[in-house]
Amino acid sequence: MDEPRRDLYEVLGVARDAPADTLRKAYRKLARELHPDVNPGDEEAERRFKEVAGAYDVLSDEEKRKAYDEFGFDSLRSGFDPEKARAYQQWQQGRARTGHPFQDEVGGFGGFGGFGGAGDMGDLGDLFRTIRQQQAQRPRRGGDVHASLALDLPTAMTGTQVSVEVPATGGGSRSVQVRIPQGAEDGDTLRIRGKGAPGANGGPDGDLVIEVRVEEHPVFTRDGRDLRLELPITLHEAYTGAKVPVPTMDGEVSMKIPAGAQSGQTLRLKGKGVTRGKATGDLYVTLKVVVPPAGDDALATALEAAESLYDGNVRAGVKA
């Protein structure tokens, strides 16, 4: 037996009246946690990732969300027609009021847009055959096309343009050029209106929905608009201070290490982070003091002599 489908708002963990920004933040958080690249071989995580992506696809689209709020999961069926659904609901309400299986309280089917009385329409099957015939010729919107795009960190920071293949009218495919904006972040979703599957009977084309995945960098880690880097320094540089070269995404720069620097101390290079919109983040450099390999007697003697320079027990504040 199939498990009952969970409410889409429950899947994302948001309230039914949640604004678009709240939906987007909830989706990005869950997508990062459940992505197959983060959970290799975990079938449950993969199932949840698809469930979250499907929920966000519906709730991030204003028209789909409105239909889901009104009709629930029925609105997600292929070929679902909200006008026909409303007509059926109106018939049910009229039947409940009058107790008559084929007429509402004002007589006939006038509430469905002037079809006349029950004698004109015949039975309920005739009603829906008529509606189906009318709706079959109405314009229908094309489906959305989903694609996933992997970018390395430098490309995500500068932005790029990619070509995506989508279905074309009459079969085959067509190429759509998509611009990925500067500062794209892992989990970003881009919706390109009218670039999805073609519509029917003159209806509008669907949308192209692209999910951006930003690969991990071997040196830098990203935290929103900021970048972080662990920088090794020598004992001498830490104790006396120094100017050392630091790699950034814009090229190498020189950074001043203060005298007496400690391992774990973090310094900031302003404006060397990610530009997204009108704001640019910073690069935070965490120092890592590297001790020379053991075995040098002269260094060992010098360090032993340096013990007297500490202000008491360096572990005095570390207690269980």
Q: Which of 248, 242, 237 is nearest to 291 (CA)?
A: 237
> Could you give phi then psi for residue 223, rounded to 5 degrees?
-135, 85
Q: What is d(CA 83, CA 6) in angstroms, rounded to the nearest whole number?
A: 25
Residue-wise pLDDT tens digits, 45-97: 888 988 898 899 899 988 889 888 888 888 887 777 777 777 766 666 665 55
Q: Any idea which fold 141-215 has? A: HSP40/DNAj peptide-binding domain (2.60.260)
Pairing of strands 226-234, 283-290: parallel
0.75 exceeded by the pTM? no
What's the CATH code, domain 221-307? 2.60.260.20
Total residues found in the chain within this entry: 320
* DSSP conformation letters of 135-188: HHTS-BPPPPEEEEEEE-HHHHHH-EEEEEEEE-TTSSEEEEEEEEPTT--TT-
What pLDDT does residue 145 have? Answer: 87
Q: What is d(CA 175, CA 225) in angstroms, rounded to the nearest whole number?
A: 32
Query: With contact defined as beta carbons under 8 Å apart, do 237 and 257 qualify?
Result: yes
- Range(s) within the chain of domains with CATH label 2.60.260.20: 141-215, 221-307
Confidence of residue 1 (pLDDT cuts 50, 70, 90): very low
3-state secondary structure of 245: strand
Residue-wise pLDDT tens digits, 157-191: 999 999 988 887 777 888 889 999 999 999 899 99
Q: What is d(CA 65, CA 68) in angstroms, rounded to the nearest whole number?
A: 5
The structure tokens listed for 110 are 């006038």
